[in-house]
Amino acid sequence: MVFREENILFSTLKELLKKQEWSAIKSQENEIGFYGGVEPGEEWEKTDEYIYPNQLEKGVGEEKFKKLPEDLKDILGQEVPQKIEFGEKSEKDIEFDTGYLNEKELNLIFKNLPVDLTFIDKNDRVRFFSDKNRIFLRSRLIIGRPVKYCHPPSSVEVVEKILKEFKEGDRDEADFWIQMSEDFVYISYHAIFDDDDEYVGALEVTQEISKLRDLEGQQTLLDWK
């Protein structure tokens, strides 16, 4: 393995990867971690410009292919390998920190989440809710409405206290669980802050977890019947 790494893998990477690609790898190495407690070496000259797989130009090209180790070219059969196709970003895509989606994809993801979501903005008004797997009834009439008017009077004080503590930074989550007939419902509230630690709003996540409570042991294989 050491021979193959030093004479094939590392030599190939040296020829194929640009500094911007190495910088993209470097930026994520702390998240992934290091094998066997190995610590990263000395800092090297990197760039703040990153290139990710979906941004690569197509194919390796004749010039780069000629520079690859002979052992690798033998494996490839002396044919210039084509780029593995990644989905390309379109003009209509919305870019997120971890990828991009178009409006249709984003809407369908929210429609098919196995949880019930409601987002409350920094002014305590309902801005969004998912419309599938709902446990508590919602209608579009609540959009823009103060959240305190979306709860029964007996729970308004609790909701207001949660949001107040979120804004003041005293808490960043709160959770409850209740039995509703045959359903066991778990409700959690999460404070949302931006990169400047400014409060943006709160996310309510509700799910029926009877099945999760009943799980035992493990299931590592797909078992459809």
Give domain limits for the chain. Answer: 2-76, 96-213
**More confident of the two residues 104 and 12:** 104
Predicted confidence (pLDDT) per residue in 145-201, tens digit: 999 988 888 889 999 999 999 999 999 999 999 999 889 999 999 999 999 999 999
Question: What is the topology classification, in CATH, of domain 96-213?
Answer: Beta-Lactamase (3.30.450)
Whats the size of the chain, residue-wise? 225
**Cα–Cα distance between 163 and 158 in angstroms, integer?**
9
> What pLDDT band is residue 4 in, cutting at 50, 70 and 90?
confident
What one-letter code names the amino acid at 142? I
Q: For the segment 59-108, what is each residue's pLDDT rounded down to a tens digit?
A: 666 777 777 777 777 766 656 555 555 666 788 899 888 888 999 999 99
